[in-house]
Amino acid sequence: MLRTDVVINAVKERSYPIFIGENLSDNIYELMSKYTKANKFLVVTNETVYPLYGEKLKKNNTEFVILPDGEIYKNIDTLNRILDRAFSLKLERKDAIVALGGGVIGDMAGFAASIYQRGIDYIQVPTTLLSQVDSSVGGKVAVNHICGKNMIGAFYQPKAVISDINTLYTLDDRQYKTGLSEVLKYAFIEKSCCADENYNLFEFLECKHNEILRKEKDTVSELIMICCKLKSAVVNQDEKEKGKRAILNFGHTYAHAFEKITDYNTYTHGEAVSIGMKKIFDLAKRLNKIDNAYYERCINLLKTYNLQIETKDKYNPEEVYEIMTSDKKVADKKINFVLPCSEKEVEIRNNIDKKYVTEGI
Ligand code: NAD
Ligand code: GLY
């Protein structure tokens, strides 16, 4: 084992550990048993992840539900399949769900756990970079609805997060970069996270890009730990997104609209986020909110990691704007944007004139 960092996400009485290390799956069952009182575990996974890692979780008291792979299946019908399996196995309130996979599985399995018999325990075993740095931490669980992304869901914290960095070596380049988009997001909002320590993630990303792109183990596990600590700091201040937590949506207002307009089949979530972040930097520039040097530094960082920053097609700006108006981030019929206000700091604004927003689409 390379290292096992335990980050306590102190969401008051619902704190839980985040394990980041290597070969954690060798003793995953012991870890899972330590953090729940379950007699039975229902492992929720998909057709891609099960053949890779399913075997590691097989025990007498683990059962599986293997779902089709893809964001297009992140919906209420697939959620029902998880619930049906839980009922057919007669899962009791003491039992637990385990999410084995990326963010799609984590969000759906967590949501199923939150509503099955009014809520049972669940454990996140994230297997993509995106899910290890972001979606497995913080308790947002959801499925998509025809009206928009993650429109049906809950805030429901897991009992533990177990991130084995070895799973990242079966991830293809596109999916690894998808995770890096969310990593860069933390660098752009770092100061506003108000973490106890200053991690200098931006500089870390600038200096260590070779090691990160090569998936060098020490560097990647440190990277995941920094992201989890930054996210924990935000969630600890505002678990249910009454204010502060919205900064984690940096770039997401545009991102969710691009994902929806393409029926979730053109961009990965991370690709949409990196495009969305570029759009936000451009918007900030049009509004004279960002100085040139910082703008260039941010765009360079996106380019260093070769992240997608332009859309693959031209979309009708009116249509994209219309989608934005039905997003969860709308309050009092106003669209919330997270805008850079100074280096590594952001502010939430809901009064941006439509013409500035649509100009860059
Ligand atoms: P994903 O779950 O679709 O996984 C990406 C692909 O990688 C899938 O094909 C999956 O089967 C495959 N895969 C997973 N682990 C693998 C491995 N170790 N080796 C090989 N292939 C593997 O996508 P994602 O990027 O992990 O997550 C995106 C989802 O997360 C979106 O639905 C997004 O809305 C959600 N999300 C949620 C939060 C949150 O706070 N809850 C935050 C960010 C994103
Ligand atoms: N990924 C956004 C959040 O967790 O709030």
pLDDT mean over 271-286:
98
140 pocket-lining for ligand 1 (C-beta < 6 Å): yes
* 340 C-beta neighbours (distance < 10 Å), count: 25
Task: Look up the pTM and report it.
Answer: 0.96
Verify whether residue 231 is a known catalytic residue: yes
Domain coverage including residue 276: 174-359
The verdict on 22 and 90 lying in the same domain is yes
pLDDT at 2: 46
What is the spatial distance between Cα 272 and Cα 252, in angstroms, rounded to a whole number? 8
Structure tokens at 354: 């439509």
Residue 120 confidence (pLDDT) above 50 = yes
The verdict on 74 and 181 lying in the same domain is no
What is the spatial distance between Cα 322 and Cα 319, in angstroms, rounded to a whole number? 5
The verdict on 194 and 128 lying in the same domain is no
| The domain boundary residue, chosen from 169, 199, 233 | 169
pLDDT at 327: 78
The verdict on 180 and 299 lying in the same domain is yes
| The domain boundary residue, chosen from 135, 154, 169 | 169
The partner residues of 16 in beta bridges, in order of sequence, read 9
The verdict on 6 and 47 lying in the same domain is yes
Domain count, the chain: 2
Verify whether residue 288 is a known catalytic residue: no
Identify which of 65, 70, 142, 74 has the alpha carbon closest to the alpha carbon of residue 100: 65
Residue 332 confidence (pLDDT) above 90 = no
The verdict on 164 and 197 lying in the same domain is no
The verdict on 180 and 157 lying in the same domain is no
The string of DSSP codes covering 95-117 is -EEEEEESHHHHHHHHHHHHHGG
Task: Dump pLDDT digits (tens) for 227-272.
Answer: 999 999 999 999 999 999 999 999 999 999 999 999 999 999 999 9
The verdict on 152 and 225 lying in the same domain is no
Verify whether residue 118 is a known catalytic residue: yes
Ligand 1 centre to CA of 175 (Å) is 8
The verdict on 163 and 222 lying in the same domain is no
Ligand 2 centre to CA of 239 (Å) is 10
pLDDT mean over 109-138:
98
The verdict on 149 and 196 lying in the same domain is no
140 pocket-lining for ligand 2 (C-beta < 6 Å): yes
Q: What is the CATH number of the domain that holds 204?
A: 1.20.1090.10
Q: What is the CATH number of the domain that holds 58?
A: 3.40.50.1970
Which protein residue has the closest C-alpha to ligand 2 atom 2? Answer: 248
The number of the ligand 2 atom at minimal distance from the alpha carbon of 234 is 5
| The domain boundary residue, chosen from 129, 148, 169 | 169
pLDDT mean over 205-214:
98
The verdict on 12 and 92 lying in the same domain is yes
The number of the ligand 1 atom at minimal distance from the alpha carbon of 134 is 42
The verdict on 152 and 178 lying in the same domain is no
